[in-house]
């Protein structure tokens, strides 16, 4: 699975004075109190996700459509002194005029929200091998929570940054994100006891855990892959949904922060892929539907007792887990107000569930899907009756310069393999695989992945950024699937009405917006989202029309927030960048920006934009330096020293060379060596300039007249991919 990390959720129940003596107190609509699930952000934006329902919504109206043209930057803080490396996925929180942010190095910085001055900085005391997604803050306890390598949870004084306590929690998976604090009733003492809800990742099994917010002591855990007796009698049966003892190495980890409904006293966890003893693509040794993998699970916030669950993918083998934080939406359906939770991400569809019972008021169908006995695939998969908001089959698009680009088009040759034809596969979601790569859309790096979505209390719509990053799965691929070199990695923004689960509008964008590109909506009808090219955008939430943009200088893979100081509304965003899905091509930084009406700080210099086509493996080689010159050897690898392999290969780098540079007007020759046992192709895409099928010993040539980059792959196996760069 690609790199993900877990957030810690903080819910502070507004206690005054002595924690042990204070009653729960009445509900409050103040954002910072975090007592109700859905209090909108106001002068504070006190947690990642904005509120306990992860709605990423602000009630502030000072920045509106009429005045958006006057929005400008007022300060910039390079929180690590100008660092331009690392994975920066941390979103900011705002409390009492102070912003709290984690850096790529794992340090925590408190910044004055009005001036941008650093108030304090906590330098982490352990290694750096954790990707950060944001701290939790408790106003009542006066603490900021972060994590450090080795499964350490650390509490800091929110005013000084001094360490108050730290506690290690081994045995539940890798503790890698702080997500939410909830001062829930203590089942024994009958009074409020603050609890942190923390997800885990990449363990043999993964659990959502609850610890005391006051001192870090362990309270309870809920396993994503149940062992015998883990969750009572119900999960004695649930454990049987995993073949043999496969649940004990089953993965199913809660990568992202949960949601909390204090009225129902329920915590909602999203659990990820089943894994088993081998990769998440291999289901051959873990028959069954693999409860609670790929599931939304509601548990008692105080005790961790199971209440209900919904599994969105049965027996997953595609790394299409739903790793997006659950979002609450209270809307009217058929004349009745419903308390809903919205679940779904990579698959490009929403499952709308009643958060009290887990029922589906709009209907969900179990649809038969193609089968592969070797994978022990499940016979059906759930689809909402209304369908999804993205295409779920790739387009086997004709090649040619006059064919307009379709974001769900397939790299050629994947859809013509005998394995797929023989099994009647079309490159659709849930097509199974074994040893031959089978391509599908939106891909395990597409859909919405872990984008922070938003429910606007003003428009009553759900918003998410999404990606088109087609993936080809097979057991012969390393890790979790092949993103074909040469494919376009793009995306967009979609607005869905949760009362009907119908798309209200969708806008395709030039970049994937699926990896932390969170959305903020406001009571003035605005939508803010950052892009991997460094631009922060403001759109009309009603129709997606762009109203404003600002260049921050580094890729944005975090959520914008809004807060208020001295009656003035601010918008803030952290621009730092991440490696997914654009690798090292996405510009990096350490820039925390704040904006308000009348701001005059200049935009940053425009960085080199991300390379949106998936790169080939290998560095460029001058065609004139090759022997023979300007020649590509098909189905053979080439070492860094320039030595061409002597045996046929179907590896991704089995074009010798994979990347050739030639001046315009050069004739390039493609050769299938006589000692290769099979015919091979050089299929150029997407312009369709040539499609050579060459038997062993045959060659063909093409003259490149115009500057550009021209990708090609092989019909025998589409993995080997090359590029001719014409300058």
Q: In angstroms, rounded to a whole number, what is the distance separating the alpha carbons of residues 506 and 494?
A: 4
What CATH number is attached to the domain comprising 718? 2.60.40.420
- Let me know if 64 is exposed, middle or buried by CB neighbors in 10 A (0-12, 13-18, 19+): middle
Rg over CA atoms, the chain: 26
How many domains are contained in the chain? 2
pLDDT greater than 90 at residue 403 = no
Does any domain span residue 609? no
Q: Which of 234-238, 365-369, 602-606 has the lowest mean pLDDT?
A: 234-238
Give me the mean pLDDT over the 323-327 stretch.
93
Q: Which residues pair with 655 in a beta bridge?
A: 634
> Helix, strand or coil for residue 75?
strand
pLDDT greater than 80 at residue 398 = no
Report the chain's mean pLDDT, rounded to a whole number.
Answer: 90
pLDDT greater than 80 at residue 401 = no
Contact 575, 556 (CB under 8 A): yes
Say if residue 625 is in the same domain as residue 593: no
> Helix, strand or coil for residue 416?
helix
DSSP per residue, 326-352:
PEEEEEEETTEEEEEEEE--TTS--EE
CB count in 10 Å sphere of residue 664: 12
Return all residues near 596 (Cβ < 8 A) that are at least 6 apart. Answer: 63, 71, 72, 74, 568, 569, 570, 571
Helix or strand run (H / E) with residue 574: strand 568-575
DSSP code of residue 501:
T
Give the CA angle between residues 153, 556, 411 to the nearest 5°: 110
Return all residues near 308 (Cβ < 8 A) that are at least 6 apart. Answer: 297, 298, 357, 358
Find the DSSP H helices in 512-666: none
Q: In angstroms, rounded to a whole number, what is the distance separating the alpha carbons of residues 429 and 408?
A: 12
Contact 562, 571 (CB under 8 A): yes
Q: Which residues pair with 179 in a beta bridge?
A: 9
DSSP per residue, 255-279:
-S--EEETTTTEEEEEE--B-TTS-
Of 126, 129, 137, 122, which is closest to residue 91 (Cα–Cα)? 137
Say if residue 677 is in the same domain as residue 548: no
Among 597, 629, 664, identify where a domain stops.
597
Instruction: State in Å, rounded, how far the first CA of the chain is from the last one.
Output: 37
pLDDT band at 236 (very low <50, low <70, confident <90, very high): low
Q: In angstroms, rounded to a whole number, what is the distance separating the alpha carbons of residues 642 and 619?
A: 11
Say if residue 377 is in the same domain as residue 498: yes
Q: Which of 390-404, 438-452, 569-583, 696-710 has the lowest mean pLDDT?
A: 390-404
Q: In angstroms, rounded to a whole number, what is the distance separating the alpha carbons of residues 72 and 4?
A: 33
Does any domain span residue 610? no
Say if residue 693 is in the same domain as residue 547: no
Which residue segment(s) compose the domain that 632 sits in?
Answer: 621-726
Question: Beta strands of 400-512 (E only): which ranges?
Answer: 438-440, 454-455, 462-468, 471-473, 490-497, 502-509
Q: In what order do the strands lie in the sheet with 143-148?
A: 136-138, 143-148, 152-157, 163-168
Among 581, 597, 613, identify where a domain stops.
597
Q: Tell me phi and psi for residue 680, to 5 degrees.
A: -135, 160
Say if residue 591 is in the same domain as residue 664: no
Q: Which residues pair with 561 in a beta bridge?
A: 572
pLDDT greater than 90 at residue 627 = yes
Does any domain span residue 66? yes
Handedness of CA 684, 685, 691, 694 (dihedral sign): positive
Q: Which of 74-78, 92-96, 158-162, 446-450 has the lowest mean pLDDT?
A: 446-450
- Residue 2's pLDDT is 40
Q: In angstroms, rounded to a whole number, what is the distance separating the alpha carbons of residues 6 and 208?
A: 10
- Residue 402's pLDDT is 59
Of 369, 381, 453, 447, which is closest to residue 408 (Cα–Cα)? 447
Return the structure tokens found at 345. Answer: 């991400």
CB count in 10 Å sphere of residue 118: 14
- Residue 145's pLDDT is 94
Q: In angstroms, rounded to a whole number, what is the distance separating the alpha carbons of residues 48 and 180?
A: 8
| 398 vs 499 pLDDT, higher one | 499
pLDDT band at 670 (very low <50, low <70, confident <90, very high): very high
Return the structure tokens found at 706. Answer: 């115009």
Say if residue 384 is in the same domain as residue 271: yes
- Residue 202's pLDDT is 76
CB count in 10 Å sphere of residue 27: 14
Say if residue 579 is in the same domain as residue 692: no
Give me the mean pLDDT over the 645-671 stretch.
97
Q: In angstroms, rounded to a whole number, what is the distance separating the alpha carbons of residues 261 and 83?
A: 39
Return all residues near 402 (Cβ < 8 A) that are at least 6 apart. Answer: none
Of 73, 70, 271, 265, which is closest to residue 187 (Cα–Cα)? 265
- Residue 20's pLDDT is 34
Alpha carbon separation from 205 to 1, 444, 479, 496 (Å, rounded): 14, 21, 18, 34
DSSP per residue, 452-473:
--EE-TTT--EEEEEEE--EEE
pLDDT greater than 50 at residue 331 = yes
Return all residues near 335 (Cβ < 8 A) that are at least 6 apart. Answer: none
Of 647, 665, 664, 684, which is closest to residue 656 (Cα–Cα)? 647
Question: What are the tens digits of pLDDT across the range 191-201?
Answer: 456 889 998 88
Say if residue 379 is in the same domain as residue 416: yes
**Cis peptide leading into 686, omega within 30 of 0?**
yes
Of 156, 118, 62, 76, which is closest to residue 563 (Cα–Cα)? 62
Does any domain span residue 74? yes
Question: Beta strands of 213-271 (E only): which ranges?
Answer: 218-223, 259-261, 266-271
pLDDT greater than 80 at residue 60 = yes
Give me the mean pLDDT over the 355-375 stretch.
97
Helix or strand run (H / E) with residue 235: helix 233-238
Q: In what order do the strands lie in the sheet with 57-58?
A: 57-58, 519-522, 526-530, 535-540, 546-551
Return the structure tokens found at 408. Answer: 């769900």
CB count in 10 Å sphere of residue 484: 26
Q: Which of 120-134, 170-184, 351-365, 405-419 has the lowest mean pLDDT?
A: 170-184
Q: In angstroms, rounded to a whole number, what is the distance separating the alpha carbons of residues 229 and 604?
A: 56
- Residue 232's pLDDT is 62
Among 597, 629, 652, identify where a domain stops.
597
Does any domain span residue 603? no
- Residue 421's pLDDT is 86
pLDDT band at 136 (very low <50, low <70, confident <90, very high): very high
Q: Tell me phi and psi for residue 300, to 5 degrees.
A: -65, 130
Helix or strand run (H / E) with residue 419: helix 418-422
DSSP per residue, 184-199:
EEPTTT-SEEEEEEE-
Say if residue 146 is in the same domain as residue 178: yes
Question: What are the tens digits of pLDDT across the range 7-33?
Answer: 455 443 332 223 333 333 334 568 888
pLDDT greater than 60 at residue 665 = yes
> Helix, strand or coil for residue 624?
helix
Return all residues near 38 (Cβ < 8 A) that are at least 6 apart. Answer: 51, 52, 53, 55, 328, 330, 457
DSSP code of residue 325:
P
Q: pTM, whole model, 2 decimals?
A: 0.94
Does any domain span residue 512? yes
Return all residues near 584 (Cβ < 8 A) that are at least 6 apart. Answer: none
pLDDT greater than 80 at residue 479 = no
Q: Tell me phi and psi for residue 33, to 5 degrees.
A: -70, -30
Say if residue 530 is in the same domain as residue 663: no
- Residue 682's pLDDT is 98
Give me the mean pLDDT over the 285-301 stretch.
94
Does any domain span residue 663? yes
Say if residue 586 is in the same domain as residue 633: no
Return the structure tokens found at 434. Answer: 């074994």
Return all residues near 219 (Cβ < 8 A) that are at least 6 apart. Answer: 195, 209, 210, 211, 212, 304
Does any domain span residue 613? no
Q: In angstroms, rounded to a whole number, what is the distance separating the alpha carbons of residues 97 and 113?
A: 5
Of all residues in the chain, the percent with pLDDT exceeding 70 is 91
DSSP code of residue 118:
E
Contact 123, 117 (CB under 8 A): no
What CATH number is attached to the domain comprising 111? 2.140.10.10
Of all residues in the chain, the percent with pLDDT exceeding 90 is 74
| 494 vs 345 pLDDT, higher one | 494
Say if residue 665 is in the same domain as residue 572: no
């Amino acid at each position: 699975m690609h790199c993900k990390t877990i957030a810690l959720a903080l819910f502070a129940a507004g206690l005054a004075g002595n924690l042990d003596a204070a009653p729960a107190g009445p509900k409050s609509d103040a954002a910072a109190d975090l007592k109700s699930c859905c209090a909108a952000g106001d002068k504070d934006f006190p947690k990642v996700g904005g509120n306990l329902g992860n709605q990423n919504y602000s009630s502030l109206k000072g920045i509106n459509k009429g005045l958006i043209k006057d929005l400008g930057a007022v300060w910039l803080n390079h929180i690590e002194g100008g660092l331009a490396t690392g994975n920066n996925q941390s979103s900011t929180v705002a409390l009492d005029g102070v912003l709290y942010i984690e850096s790529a190095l794992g340090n925590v910085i408190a910044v004055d929200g009005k001036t941008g001055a650093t108030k304090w900085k906590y330098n982490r005391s352990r290694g750096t091998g954790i990707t950060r997604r944001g701290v939790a803050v408790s106003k009542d306890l006066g603490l900021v929570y972060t994590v450090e390598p080795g499964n350490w949870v650390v509490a800091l004084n929110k005013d000084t940054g001094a360490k108050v306590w730290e506690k290690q929690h081994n045995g539940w998976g890798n503790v890698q994100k702080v997500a939410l604090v909830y001062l829930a009733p203590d089942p024994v003492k009958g009074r409020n006891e603050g609890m942190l809800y923390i997800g885990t990742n990449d363990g043999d099994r993964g659990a959502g855990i609850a610890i005391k917010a006051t001192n870090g002591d362990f309270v309870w855990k809920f396993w994503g892959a149940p062992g015998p007796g883990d969750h009572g009698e119900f999960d004695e049966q649930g454990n049987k949904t995993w073949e043999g003892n496969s649940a004990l190495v089953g993965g199913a980890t809660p990568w992202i922060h949960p949601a909390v409904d204090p009225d129902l006293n329920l915590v909602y966890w999203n659990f990820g892929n089943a894994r088993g003893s081998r990769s998440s693509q291999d289901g051959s040794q873990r028959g069954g539907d693999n409860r609670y993998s790929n599931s939304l699970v509601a548990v008692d916030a105080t005790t961790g007792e199971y209440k209900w669950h919904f599994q969105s993918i049965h027996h997953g083998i595609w790394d299409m887990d739903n790793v997006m934080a659950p979002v609450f939406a209270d809307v009217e359906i058929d004349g009745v107000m419903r308390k809903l939770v919205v679940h779904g991400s990579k698959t490009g569809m929403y499952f709308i569930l009643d958060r009290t019972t887990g029922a589906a008021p709009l209907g969900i169908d179990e649809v038969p899907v193609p089968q592969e006995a070797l994978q022990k695939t499940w016979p059906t998969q759930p689809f909402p009756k209304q369908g999804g908001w993205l295409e779920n089959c790739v387009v086997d698009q004709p090649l040619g310069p006059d064919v307009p680009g379709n974001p769900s088009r397939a790299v050629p040759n994947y859809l013509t393999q005998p394995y797929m034809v023989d099994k009647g596969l079309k490159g659709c979601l849930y097509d199974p695989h074994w040893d031959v790569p089978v391509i599908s859309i939106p891909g395990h790096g597409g859909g919405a992945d872990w984008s922070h979505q938003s429910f606007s209390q003003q428009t009553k719509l759900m918003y998410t950024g999404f990606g088109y990053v087609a993936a080809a799965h097979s057991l012969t691929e390393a890790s979790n699937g092949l993103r074909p070199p040469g494919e376009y990695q793009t995306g967009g923004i979609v607005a869905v009405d949760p009362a009907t689960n119908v798309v209200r509008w969708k806008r395709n964008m030039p970049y994937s917006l699926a990896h932390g590109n969170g959305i903020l909506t406001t009571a003035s009808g605005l939508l803010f989202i950052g892009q991997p090219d460094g631009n922060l955008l403001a759109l009309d939430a009603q129709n997606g029309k762009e109203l404003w943009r600002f260049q921050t200088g580094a890729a944005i893979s975090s959520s914008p927030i809004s807060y208020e100081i001295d009656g003035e509304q601010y918008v803030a965003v952290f621009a730092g960048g991440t490696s997914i899905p654009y690798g090292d091509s996405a510009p990096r930084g350490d820039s925390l920006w704040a904006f308000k009406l009348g701001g005059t700080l200049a935009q940053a210099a425009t960085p080199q934009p991300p390379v949106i086509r998936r790169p080939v493996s290998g560095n460029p080689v001058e065609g004139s330096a090759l022997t023979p010159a300007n020649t590509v050897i098909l189905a053979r690898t080439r070492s860094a020293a320039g030595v061409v392999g002597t045996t046929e290969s179907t590896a991704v780098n089995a074009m010798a060379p994979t990347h050739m540079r030639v001046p315009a007007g050069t004739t390039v020759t493609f050769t299938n060596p006589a000692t290769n046992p099979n015919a091979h192709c050089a299929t150029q895409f997407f312009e369709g300039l040539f499609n050579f099928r060459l038997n062993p010993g045959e060659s063909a040539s093409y003259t490149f007249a115009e500057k550009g980059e021209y990708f090609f792959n092989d019909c025998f196996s589409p993995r080997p991919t090359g590029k001719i760069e014409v300058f």
